Structure 1
Amino acid sequence: MRIGLLGTGPWARLTHGPALREHPETELVGVWGRRPEAAGELAGRLDTRAYEDPEALFADCEAVAFALPPDVQAPLAARAAAAGCHLLLDKPVATSVPAARELAAAVTSAGVASVVFFTLRFAPETAAWVAAQSGTEGWVTGRADWYSPVFGGSDSAYAASPWRRERGALWDVGPHALSLLLPPLGEVAAVTAARGPGDMVHVALRHASGASSTMTLTHSVPPQASSVTAELRGSAGITTLPERGEGGPVRPLMRALDALLAAARKGERHPCDIHFGVRVTEILATAERALASGATTPAASA
């Protein structure tokens, strides 16, 4: 599959670029970025060409992969879908519910395949855990806690990311937490949220099944306090998210590419498609409103 890359930041350089170049069933056609000089530099590293116009890249591709801030991604992805390109999207698909829904409508109208890259859903160890728990009945509660040191003194390449600084961990790692909790616990009916120190937020979810869950999300802890954990409790006992394997996010992204290829060839929706991405945006937007109001807010759906 001929595929293009949109984005030139650390995520594009460290994850998307290597995965797109190394995948045996994709041909990296080129790179587009908002800064032409950065696009040229990354294209040189990846042994491909830089495009000055995203529409020209869409015209030369069967699919495109996004490593852009969410509210830059959404309108560009809608244009790519209209051009007939299958979409490998990053999470969150947007931080605005209307923008997310407009993208979903464009995907549906064009009939293209879409996969949203929720890293833990494509890492083999954690993906297998989610699948096993989703097939188990009787869960009554769960939690997903993401304590990240990106703003807390680490040397993370993402510490300078303007959109992460603006929107915080709720929007950056909240999608990952929801991607773990929603499959086994089901649809969210209501959301409560409270702020902690820094960008920390605590979110409580009531699921339509009657189960409840919580998320603690932050980029503001010191490195020695960082961890990523999740667990479920119910009639089957207690189960805990396993550790991810070594190798970073490149291997999971290659598996997301596998999923996009399969969805495009078979014409079947993937569980982590644009519609799941929209629901994640809706829930996070509801949490943001709850933080502003200090009250429990019904979780609106499409």
Structure 2
Amino acid sequence: MPPTADNPPAWHHAPVRVGLVGAGPWARAMHARTLAEGPETTLAAVWARRPEAAAEVAAPYGAPIAATFEALLDSCEAVAFAVPPSVQAQLAVRAARAGRALLLEKPLALTLDAARAVADTVAETGVVSQLVLTKRYHPTTRAFLARAAGTDVLGARSCYLHGAFLEGEFATSWRLEHGALFDLGPHLLDLLDAAVAPIVSVRATGDSRRWIELTCEHDNGAVSQASLSGAVRVPRAQTRVELFGSTGTLVYDTASIDHAECWPVLRREFASAVRTGTGTGIDAAHGLRIQRLLDNALRRR
């Protein structure tokens, strides 16, 4: 059977050895499993501030525990981060200077200066970087963006709503402190920026820890709205984007998609980027662009 989108060609390179930083719920639920399943990657080692937590993440896959961050760097050729943004920003700079490729979470950092330091270091060292903007790796998202490219959009509205901040293991300290703008905002800003036109300014109203509204102005004159909350009790997380224009309406809704379909695509594209040195464009530079929009929203309240 010839290779197709549903039947990709066999992996012809040696698996990329990826070290994982972090041992929280996202490291367990996504990063460790995705990296260990291969065939494009192997989980080379796990390092976390608490060795016992790192051991819990690594054990199901038989991966070793790194005693220090430096030991992790010595064991791998790429580093995946599943830690709070402030920690990621510091360690990613060190990893890039050591010549390691980076699989980065959003947002890059908690401040624009820290995000700029990551992106600048990646540019200076020439290492491959890729951002885990989950939805970008799903076929439904890519089909929506392809259709949006041929649509004359006058305005858009969108939402990303869930209740994970109310309770449970994802109600982590940085999420509770900085709220939906930093946790959910990058996803919607990225989708609106790609689907409508580049965003030139963002204005925010509300409380990021409860409910926040973003008004975005795009360089084609369109205006979009984004509603964000991680503190509403809904049956399941809701992500929806509606584009309106002279030719009709285009809707993107994640209610029926399986996010597990994103992970093999993410893994394959990251490994390919590392082996070929050719990135996907969803990289640290793009992460810095999203960070500038977050900073713009904070300043224009």
Task: Please give the residue correspondences for 1:1-302 in structure 2 after superposition, counting only pairs within 5 Å.
Answer: 1-133=16-148, 135-152=149-166, 156-159=168-171, 161-195=172-206, 199-224=210-235, 227-243=238-254, 247-248=258-259, 250-291=260-301
Name whichever of 266-275 and 167-176 sits farther off: 266-275
Deviation at 1:127, TM superposition (A): 2.6
Once the two structures are superposed, what CA deviation does each residue of 1:68-104 show, in whole Å capped at 9, x if it has no partner?
Answer: 1111101111111111111111111112111111101
Uncovered stretches (5+) of structure 2, i.e. residues with no partner? 1-15
Deviation at 1:236, TM superposition (A): 3.2
Checking the alignment, whether the CA contact within 8 Å between 2:239 and 2:253 is kept in structure 1 is no
Task: Give the letter for the 1:195 counterpart.
Answer: G
User: How many corresponding residue pairs?
Assistant: 286
Distance 1:102 1:197 in 2: 25
Checking the alignment, whether the CA contact within 8 Å between 1:129 and 1:242 is kept in structure 2 is no
Kindly tell me: are residues 197 and 66 of structure 1, through their superposed partners in 2, closer, same or farther at Cα, counting changes over 3 Å? closer
Name whichever of 103-112 and 183-192 sits farther off: 183-192
Kindly tell me: are residues 198 and 262 of structure 1, through their superposed partners in 2, closer, same or farther at Cα, counting changes over 3 Å? closer
Distance 2:239 2:214 in 1: 16
Name whichever of 255-264 and 21-30 sits farther off: 255-264
Please give the secondary structure, in 1, of the residue aligned with 2:65.
strand
Task: Give the letter for the 1:175 counterpart.
Answer: P
Please give the secondary structure, in 1, of the residue aligned with 2:300.
helix
Uncovered stretches (5+) of structure 1, i.e. residues with no partner? 292-302
Checking the alignment, whether the CA contact within 8 Å between 2:20 and 2:81 is kept in structure 1 is yes
Distance 1:211 1:247 in 2: 31
Kindly tell me: are residues 226 and 119 of structure 1, through their superposed partners in 2, closer, same or farther at Cα, counting changes over 3 Å? closer
Once the two structures are superposed, what CA deviation does each residue of 1:45-87 show, in whole Å capped at 9, x if it has no partner?
Answer: 2211111211121122111111111111011111111111111
Normalising by structure 2, what TM-score?
Answer: 0.89
Distance 1:245 1:3 in 2: 31
Checking the alignment, whether the CA contact within 8 Å between 1:30 and 1:43 is kept in structure 2 is yes
Please give the secondary structure, in 2, of the residue aligned with 1:209.
coil
Deviation at 1:191, TM superposition (A): 1.9
- Cα RMSD (Å): 1.8
| Percent identity over paired residues | 37
Distance 2:271 2:209 in 1: 40
Once the two structures are superposed, what CA deviation does each residue of 1:176-209 show, in whole Å capped at 9, x if it has no partner?
Answer: 1012111122222222211059521001011121
Distance 1:235 1:211 in 2: 12
